[in-house]
């Protein structure tokens, strides 16, 4: 998969691309990532990429021309791609959307800065707007990294365990069950007995029940109270066997 990221601060993303899963994905040829800087597409000697907002207000807004020219060059050089602008006003990013993106051949991610990007960028490029959550960041780089990593780990051959992506949080609509490793007891807290039993059927049932219960608690804490898949037996299993 090809991923192009437009950013005023490429060093932020390059550091992450050189580590861990993203480095592995690139070394295996599953991920072909290129960083572009809109400053390289300015026409003045100061390489200006922002200006005051029309209508007044605080801060500065990213100008449309350097961003659009940069995105057009990325698509001209690397082929047609799905353009995504990272913005708090966008559609919420989910695991289902990560799977959808993982089926694309080429993504072009646009990172905003300052007070945002001129809306005509979205209109001219036919871009979609995407948010990673209802909170404020100084720019779209961290959001772009979240998207790139979530997508990259779904690409064939990137993760060593083929079942890893299936059992993780949100893949089944549930958060992941609690995980434990050695030692079997730590500061008076023991690993649930079922995980030491060797009974794979019981372990599977406990993990499913724990995921259901964990998701229910999270939804209640967030005030959602949404119904989640889970039988009465699964709920009893989670309560009886811990954690």
DSSP 111-169: E-BTT-B-THHHHHHT-EEEES-SS--SBSHHHHHHHHHHHHTTSTTSSSSTTHHHHST
Consecutive H or E run containing 90? strand 82-92
Enumerate the domain spans of the chain. Answer: 2-154, 169-226
**What φ, ψ does residue 41 adopt, rounded to 5°?**
-120, 25
Residue 89: the pLDDT is 93
Grade residue 243 by pLDDT with cuts at 50, 70 and 90: low
166 CA to centre of own chain: 16
- Say which CATH topology domain 169-226 has: 1.10.1270
The Cα 165–Cα 171 span in angstroms is 7
Residue 62: the pLDDT is 97
Q: Which CATH architecture has domain 2-154?
A: 3-Layer(aba) Sandwich (3.40)
User: In the predicted model, is pLDDT for residue 233 greater than 60?
Assistant: no
Per-residue model confidence as pLDDT tens digits over 34-87: 999 999 999 999 999 999 999 999 999 999 999 999 999 999 999 999 999 999
Per-residue model confidence as pLDDT tens digits over 199-229: 999 999 999 999 999 999 999 998 876 554 5
**Angle formed at CA 214 by CA 239 and CA 87, multiple of 5 degrees:** 175
The Cα 101–Cα 93 span in angstroms is 11
Query: 229: which 2 tokens?
Result: 């898949």
Per-residue model confidence as pLDDT tens digits over 114-169: 999 999 999 999 999 999 999 999 999 999 999 999 999 999 999 976 555 555 55
Query: 142: which 2 tokens?
Result: 């961290």
Query: 86: which 2 tokens?
Result: 């990272």
The Cα 228–Cα 19 span in angstroms is 36
Question: Do the beta carbons of residue 26 and residue 33 sit within 8 Å?
Answer: yes
Residues 190-201, buried b or exposed e (16+ Cβ, 10 A)?
A: ebeebbeeeeee
Helix (H/G/I), strand (E/B), else coil: 208: helix
């Amino acid at each position: 998969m090809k991923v192009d990221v437009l950013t005023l601060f490429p060093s932020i993303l390059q550091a992450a691309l050189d580590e861990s899963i993203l480095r592995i994905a690139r070394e295996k040829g599953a991920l072909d990532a290129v960083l572009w800087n809109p400053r390289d597409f300015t026409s003045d000697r100061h390489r200006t990429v922002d200006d005051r907002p029309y209508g007044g207000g605080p801060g500065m807004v990213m100008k449309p021309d350097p961003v659009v020219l940069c995105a057009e060059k990325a698509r001209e050089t690397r082929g047609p791609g799905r353009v995504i602008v990272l913005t708090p006003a966008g559609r919420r990013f989910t695991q289902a959307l990560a799977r959808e993106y993982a089926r694309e051949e080429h993504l072009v991610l646009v990172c905003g800065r300052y007070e945002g990007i001129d809306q005509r960028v979205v209109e001219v490029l036919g871009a979609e707007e995407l948010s990673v959550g209802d909170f404020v960041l100084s720019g779209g780089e961290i959001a772009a990294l979240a998207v790139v990593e979530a997508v990259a780990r779904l690409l064939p051959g990137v993760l060593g365990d083929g079942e890893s992506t299936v059992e993780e949080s949100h893949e089944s609509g549930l958060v992941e069950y609690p995980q434990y490793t050695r030692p079997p007891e730590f500061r008076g807290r023991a690993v649930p007995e079922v995980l030491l039993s060797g009974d794979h059927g019981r372990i599977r049932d406990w993990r499913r029940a724990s995921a259901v219960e964990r998701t229910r608690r999270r939804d209640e804490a967030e005030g959602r109270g949404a119904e989640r898949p889970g039988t009465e037996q699964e709920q009893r299993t989670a309560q009886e066997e811990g954690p």
